[in-house]
Amino acid sequence: MTVKHVFIRDVAPRDGFQIEPNLVPTDLKVHVINALGAAGVPGIEATSFVHPKAVPQMADAEEVMKQIRRYPSTRYSVLVPNLRGAQRALATGPDQLNLVVSASESHNRANLNRGTFETLAEHKAVAELSLKAGIPVQGGIATSFGCPFEGRIPIERVLTVVERYVEIGVTGIGLADTTGMANPIQVRRLVSAVKDRWPDLDVHLHFHNTRGMGLANVYAGFLEGVTHFDASLGGIGGCPFAPGATGNICTEDTVHMFSEMGLETGIDLDGLIQLSRRMEKALGHKLPGQVMKAGKTMDLHPLPPGISR
Ligand code: ZN
């Protein structure tokens, strides 16, 4: 394999914070986003322009975008659910808009109260608006690997959604395993089906570690040539009061894995680990990240007294 570099986008400020049980102060969000930028994280999903009533945690989206320090080597993307969200988002100068629709009809109805293709019709208008403003758009597909209501989603169904996104001019797509139902073989199958049909399309993978398969799925995607992955600092996103609602794969665990494999992410891993530990204290509950607890593989321990090598 000739790939040497992997692109990690941290989604903690959006996917992570939106599910925190207590309101996360804007200051803390800004601190985390600035520290991620300072650690060289190349992509950050900074916030979401959803309706404040739907997701109160994201009500300060404009404020967050205004207050953060923008590092030139980091791409700051934002999630937008609809045209109104896109108008709000574009006024804050993001580097990219991220759209999301569920491959599963019932999941999309449960979330957005309408069907997958109705949502995609509005996304077309969003893409037009954004592309006219010179801002690229990524088409995210939730429940690409499974739906909590419908179970497995047929590959053909996901490909139909990808096709629609390609028609409306997205620059890449994101395949999301929203509730952690994917397994590594399935990841290889879906990614290779997408790449067979659209060899030049950027494919981004978004996994949740709900059932402990997150990093195995990352590696499966990597074996199919994917180099863009979402992850969340400390693995946040798991609501401590809602069993089963677990977070994204953990950013520093993902960075650590790739670095152990000899791949570059351009990210200061020690800085990330320190940031995760600080964030755990600030949020006031345990985070699922593992490297923040165990240390790096090569953080060796002194031999017990009296034992020599
Ligand atoms: Zn997610």
Per-residue pLDDT, averaged over 214-243, amounts to: 88
Show me where the domains of the chain are located: 7-294
Give percent above pLDDT 70 in the chain: 97
CA dist 212 and 181 (Å) reads 10
Residue 244: predicted pLDDT: 60
Cβ neighbours around 91 below 10 Å, total: 12
Find the 239 Cα to ligand 1 centroid distance in Å: 13
pLDDT at 3: 75
- Dump pLDDT digits (tens) for 67-122: 999 999 999 999 999 999 999 999 999 999 999 999 999 999 988 899 999 999 99
What residues are neighbours of ligand 1 (ion), with CB under 5 Å?
Answer: 15
Could you tell me which residue, 59 or 238, shows the higher pLDDT? 59
Structure token pair of residue 266: 């351009």
User: Looking at this protein, which amino acid is placed at residue 179?
Assistant: T
Cα(23)–Cα(54) distance, integer angstroms:
14
> φ and ψ at 52, to 5 degrees?
-55, -30
Collapsing DSSP states into helix, strand and coil, what is residue 132?
A: helix
Q: Using the mean position of ligand 1's atoms as its centre, give its distance from the Cα of residue 266 in Å.
A: 23
For residue 246, pLDDT beyond 90 = no
Task: Give tens-digit pLDDT for 88-101.
Answer: 999 999 999 999 99
User: 7-294, superfamily in CATH?
Assistant: Aldolase class I (3.20.20.70)
Average pLDDT, integer, range 132-148:
96
Cα dist from 250 to 142, 146, 164, 291, whole Å: 19, 21, 31, 9
Rounded CA-CA distance 272/250 in Å is 11
Enclosing H/E stretch for 249: none
Question: What confidence score (pLDDT) does residue 238 get?
Answer: 59
Percent of the chain with pLDDT over 90: 88
Centroid of ligand 1 to alpha carbon of 248 (angstroms):
6
Average pLDDT of the chain?
A: 94
C-beta neighbour count of 65 within 10 angstroms: 22
Residue 250 annotated as catalytic: no
**What pLDDT band is residue 308 in, cutting at 50, 70 and 90?**
confident
pTM score: 0.95
Rounded to the nearest whole angstrom, what is the distance from the C-alpha of residue 307 to the centroid of ligand 1?
Answer: 47
| Catalytic choice (201, 239, 245, 263) | 239
Q: How many CB atoms lie within 10 A of CB 33?
A: 27
